[in-house]
Amino acid sequence: MFGGTKDWDAIIGQAQDMQTKMATLQTELELITATGDAVGGLVSVTLNGKSILKSISIDSSLFTSSDVGILEDLIVAAHDDARKKLGILVEAKTQEVTGNLHFFPGMKFS
């Protein structure tokens, strides 16, 4: 199956390299942010790369309405938009880290 010690050394080296890169990625994910919005930016939320809500912005024009339910729905919509955008960013960053590492033919990490 494998050609001997050299192959295992290469695999172990790749695994160690990936472990280091993944640790770096975890740190970088805290710095990546995605902002989602609803109704053309009247409500926006910002998440970090670990999906932690970092901020909410609500345009003051929405406070003239007594319908709090609409505002709550807009916050949920903005959060969903940010989560989707964040998923794209995290997937790209993960591919950056793992894309060139191949332990076995056909094995992928993202």
- CATH number of the domain that 43 lies in? 3.30.1310.10
What's the structural domain count of the chain?
Answer: 1
- For residue 2, is pLDDT > 70? no
pTM of the entire predicted model: 0.56
Query: Helices 68-98 and 5-29: crossing angle, nearest 10°?
Result: 150
Place of tokens 């191949």: 102
Q: Is the dihedral of CA 21, 26, 30, 32 positive or negative?
A: positive
pLDDT, averaged across the chain: 81
In a domain, 105, yes or no: no
Per-residue pLDDT, averaged over 62-91, amounts to 84
In a domain, 47, yes or no: yes
Q: Is 102 left (phi over 0), alpha (psi -120 to 50) or beta?
A: beta
- Nearest in space to 18 (alpha carbons), one of 104, 105, 83, 102: 102
In a domain, 14, yes or no: no
Question: What does the pLDDT read at residue 13?
Answer: 86
- Nearest in space to 53 (alpha carbons), one of 67, 34, 70, 37: 34
